[in-house]
Amino acid sequence: MKLRLYNARILDLNSEHSIRLGEVHVSDGLIKKVLYDDDKVSCNEEHDREIDCHGNLLMRGFNNAHAHSAMTFLRSLADDKPTPMWLKEDIFPNEAKLTDDDIADFQRLAIMEYVSGGIVSASDMYLRPDVTADTFSKAGMRAVIISGLNDFTSSAEKLLDEYKRLNDHDPLISFKAGFHAEYTTSRELLKRLSEISASLKCPVYCHLSETASEVRECIERNGDTPFKYLASLGLFDNGGGIYHGVHLTDEEIGMIADKGVHVVINSGSNCKLASGIAPLKKMYDKGVKLAIGTDGPASNNSLNMFKEMYLTSVLCKLNEDDASCMDASYILDMAVKGSASCMGLEASGLIEAGKPADLILLDLDQPNMQPLNNIVKNIVYAGSVSNVIMTMVAGKILFRNGEYDLGFDPDELIAKCNERTRRIINNV
């Protein structure tokens, strides 16, 4: 289908974060043409559908660089507990009861939240990657699946099989090597993963240095801090990403920068679980590649990139005692370009011909976005999911004006998710 989006303010995440009035033509999943009003170039092509954007903001969508989508069933169930107790008493026991159908429906609920909040892709680490691939593919949502390899629920052989199969599953789906964390994965299994990474020349992803106790216990077990220990096994020789990175040493930050490893900041989860504040400015100054993720809805509890951008910015200012550090424009870049780079996706923030048509439209007429003194800063400091008018992935509109096109009935899905949650929690 040929689609024309006209009368839009078009935001390009270039060095100036320029905004110009114009129109965008989309077909075959790609941006085909961009015309700006001030260039006085018109186009008389016919389109199957035309949408008047009414002067609202058209931009590349947000990329969620770390999530556990199916954990929607644990939202607001396991709260206000220390992290070790939270994991052992609520998370792991209830996840053990999940069926494939449970996971698929709970992920569909997350997908609804993603697209209604302007998120066009999610990097998902969870049980049964085949279910994730099928669920996201059928919904038309882009997903980068990260292996959650550990001593209990997977194996190196299974990871290899999934790597080969799921990278050919659907253009919307990709699969990357990873493991849950140092504290759930034996040295022997980590060495095997390192061999796989070297053989495939593929990056590796994991949770790392999320809590002070995690770091302390890693030193006790292995004689070194988490990143240094894992790097000594060769796990990041081909790059990759770490989730959280709250308790990194200066030496580790330098190593991360040298190896080209991304750090995904999960500010909402880090705050709620009292994990700490990631040293964002220090990493930025060292040239570390930075991205933003929501983490899961059990620890956040929302999948809201606007909230993550705001928290990431203000926590950095608070941590540095400097209101001028980390300009909002860079935080926005992290949520779009930085996260896409971490996920191995098209990392441009430009709206130009040939780029994937993963676009969102933000309502600028709502009170929280007025006056239009600085639209970019408004997005980070005042923006809300309520401003999302439209979300498009690969040229298909998945959400517009409160309506979803995801291949399932939203009301029926919500009812099913509540039924499934009651069954799991009540052991019936």
- Summarised one tens digit per residue, pLDDT across range 221-256 is 999 999 999 999 999 999 999 999 999 999 999 999
Q: What is the pLDDT of residues 152-189, one digit of tens each?
A: 988 999 999 999 999 998 999 999 999 999 999 999 99
- What pTM did the predictor assign? 0.97
Confidence at 271, pLDDT banded by 50, 70, 90? very high
pLDDT at 279 (0 to 100): 98
Q: What is the pLDDT of residues 309-357, one digit of tens each?
A: 999 999 999 999 999 999 999 999 999 999 999 999 999 999 999 999 9
Residues β-bridged to residue 176: 146
**Statement: residue 82 has pLDDT above 90:** no
Q: In what helix (H) or strand (E) does residue 125 lie, and over which residues does it extend?
A: strand 119-125
pLDDT at 84 (0 to 100): 77
Identify the burial level of 28 via C-beta atoms within 10 angstroms of its C-beta, where 0-12 means exposed, 13-18 middle and 19 or more buried. Answer: exposed
pLDDT at 408 (0 to 100): 98
Average pLDDT for 27-48: 89
pLDDT at 239 (0 to 100): 98
**Statement: residue 68 has pLDDT above 70:** yes
Triad 107, 271, 261: Cα angle to 5°? 70
Pairing mode of beta strands 49-52, 3-11 = parallel
**Statement: residue 89 has pLDDT above 90:** no
Q: What is the pLDDT of residues 190-215, one digit of tens each?
A: 999 999 999 999 999 999 999 999 99
What backbone phi and psi angles, to 5 degrees, belong to 77?
A: -95, -40
The 3 state secondary structure assigned to 162-216 is HHHHHCCCCCCEEEEEEECCHHHCCHHHHHHHHHHHHHHCCCEEEEECCCHHHHH
pLDDT at 1 (0 to 100): 87
What backbone phi and psi angles, to 5 degrees, belong to 338?
A: -65, -45
pLDDT at 207 (0 to 100): 98
- Proportion of the chain in helix, strand, coil states, percent, rounded to 5: 40, 20, 35
Q: What is the pLDDT of residues 278-293, one digit of tens each?
A: 999 999 999 999 999 9
CATH code for 62-343?
A: 3.20.20.140
Judge whether 399 and 388 are in contact, CB under 8 Å. yes
**Statement: residue 428 has pLDDT above 70:** no
The SS3 assignment for 137 reads: helix
pLDDT at 393 (0 to 100): 98
Q: Which residue has the higher pLDDT, 86 or 419?
A: 419
Domain(s) of CATH 3.20.20.140: residues in the chain:
62-343
> How many Å apart are CA 387 and CA 12, to the nearest integer?
18
Q: Which residue has the higher pLDDT, 92 or 258?
A: 258
Average pLDDT for 3-17: 97
- Amino acid in position 146: I
CATH code for 3-61+352-404?
A: 2.30.40.10
> How many Å apart are CA 58 and CA 182, to the nearest integer?
41
Domain(s) of CATH 2.30.40.10: residues in the chain:
3-61+352-404
